[in-house]
Amino acid sequence: MKISMWYNNSDIRIEDVPLPEPGPEEMLVKVISCGICGSDISEWYRLPRAPLVLGHEIGGKIVKTGEHVKKYAPGDRVFVAPKVPCMACHYCENEHYPVCPNVKDRLPGGFSECIVVPSGLVEKGTYLLPETISYDQSTFIEPLACVVRAQRLSGIKERQTVMIMGCGMSGLIHLKLAKAKNYNTIAVDINENRLEFAKKIGADIVINASDNVPARLIEKNSKKADVVILCTSALSAIAQAWECVEKGGSIVFFAVPEPGKDVIVPINDFWMKEIKILTSYYCGPPDISEAIKILAQGLITVDDMITHKLPLNDIKKGFKLVTEAKDSIKVIIKPNE
């Protein structure tokens, strides 16, 4: 079978490997769709483990199950989580699932024709896809689950104002969920095409990041934002965020600068205004279940964000599209086409 071996964003090789055989408690899954995540193109994050097969936003069909697997059968349509927490440690008991130290099994890279799902993910990390969720739509389950968790942690309430800085794929999912939750929404980006799309899907206010964002915010909204969600790692955006959050509000780092880029926090100013600074990385099982429910019930739509579908042989082009961030929103790789 064919796999895509990632060495760096400019060196991605299609290689042939033997079709793996699942063990007694494993499953062989044919990958139908796999999205390219923003974290996939972050070389500072991925290079220490290179070369490797990337891809963790998958929808697939079970081809073969091990003899001890009873919950699933060949032909089942599934989403498989990248990893699962133990649900029993101190961190899991306090809902800090992403930092569980007892993670044993991880999803093999989805940029390949087939993957063997390890036993731990068969048991606790595999979800049957409802008929109302297509394979392409299933590539949004994991990123939406991360968005669900970040917005919950932010403490935002109905009719409050959320400013989303960065209107790439993650930022636009934040926007769609915020609209579904009846929050007032402000979208900020330097790319006019993405701002136009944000406006099209319901952003109440759009602001070009090259403007004086704090001034434009007050001009258009009459007040600052109750929650600011950073979906960009640009230091300039972070500096703007400090000036855009309302007293008693929250700033959520959904994206972060690469190591070595220091962020200066105006802590004295924030101390007097009771500003909360939060980070949100990954998601937990309850968030995945919530994301599947949201997609299955059509509470938000995602098909309009899919700009490119490419075969595995064109994955290098897909990474270039996501890296350049000009003409793409969601790029999906179809390994078996």
Report all structural domains of the chain as residue ranges with CATH numbers, in order of start. 2-140+302-334 (3.90.180.10), 144-279 (3.40.50.720)
Q: Which two tokens stand for residue 242?
A: 């400090």
Mean pLDDT for back-to-back runs of 10 residues, the chain (337 residues):
97 97 98 96 92 97 98 98 96 97 95 98 98 98 98 96 97 98 97 96 97 97 98 96 98 95 94 96 97 98 98 97 92 97
Owner of token pair 């699932």 = 97
Strand order in the sheet with 225-230: 205-208, 184-189, 161-165, 225-230, 245-253, 276-279
Q: Which two tokens stand for residue 116?
A: 């063997």
Cβ-contact 149, 287 below 8 angstroms = yes
Residue 205 contacts by C-beta under 8 Å, 6 or more apart in sequence? 185, 186, 187, 217, 220, 221
Can you give the pLDDT at residue 298?
97
The secondary structure of residue 287, as a DSSP letter, is: H
Burial of 20 (0-12, 13-18, 19+ CB in 10 A): middle
In the chain, which residue ranges form alpha helices assigned H by DSSP? Answer: 43-46, 90-93, 119-124, 135-138, 141-154, 169-180, 192-200, 213-221, 235-244, 267-273, 285-296, 315-324
- The alpha-carbon radius of gyration of the chain (Å, integer) is 20
Can you give the pLDDT at residue 327?
87
Omega cis (within 30) before 259: no
**pLDDT tens-digit map of 200-233:** 999 999 999 999 999 999 999 999 999 999 999 9
Cβ-contact 156, 299 below 8 angstroms = no
